[in-house]
Structure 1
Amino acid sequence: MTEILDFFREHNISVSEFESLKEHCTFGIGGAARAIVKPHCEEDIALVLASCRQREIPVFILGNGSNILFSDEGFSGIILTLKDNWSDFTIDGCLVTAKSGVSLATLARKTAMRSLTGMEFATGIPGTLGGGVIMNAGAY
């Protein structure tokens, strides 16, 4: 594991080791992750995923950490967090382009301010766009 983490650092990808997962989820529980990796661009994500797949290292992709229960035993693989560097979005007329880490509530509020409809359901949902897609947010 040390070898791959050094490889990521050589590519200027932020890496922290044995960090508590309590700080990365809204429930505030969980043991330590072997490593938390914070990519800066799409190429970083591709590099991390390909490198881990090649070495059969488990990867968990994490956004805001809403509705996630981490084990007290932690996670022995790599947490790929998309929270900090992935909250950009643009609104151009009626076209909304958003990264996975943008808050659902923020996106709902900003689209409503531009008289765009369809995101009203997300106003009270804690979490990110990426998490909402994965968890099927708003579906009944």
Structure 2
Amino acid sequence: MSAMSHEFDLSLATMLPPAGEQDLRINEPAALSVQWDAVHEAAAAVGILAQLGEEPVDAEIRGLPERAVAIGGAKLGMVVRGVDDLAAVMQPGLRALLSLTAQGQDTTSAALTLWREFHNAREAILALAPAE
């Protein structure tokens, strides 16, 4: 098994301000889309490390940022926080997996665990702004 050496950049998936300090950019689907895409890029790497391959991302998943902004209000805030939390889990998880892989260790089991956590969290976030 060859070690993955690519460092995924989740710098655009930075923490957003606390709920009381909502940034105007969360009202723009593009800002949320950047973070949503970065999380999915990390998930694709985790899927490869879990020996599952890359998952196709359908229109329902890709359309979450636009639906969340259209809904607005508290639901938008919850989606933003959910995506932010998911990025906060994926970044160190992926870094740990890549570090272990670079040391020649098998990360399949750990990657599967992170993959499942990602999917559970993503389903909860998608439920906040369901496709019609």
Q: TM-score scaled by structure 1?
A: 0.32
Q: Say which structure, 1 or 2, has more relative contact order (CA 8 Å, 6+ apart).
A: 2
Q: Which has the larger radius of gyration?
A: 1
Where is the strand percentage greater, Structure 1 or Structure 2?
Answer: 1
Where is the helix percentage greater, Structure 1 or Structure 2?
Answer: 2
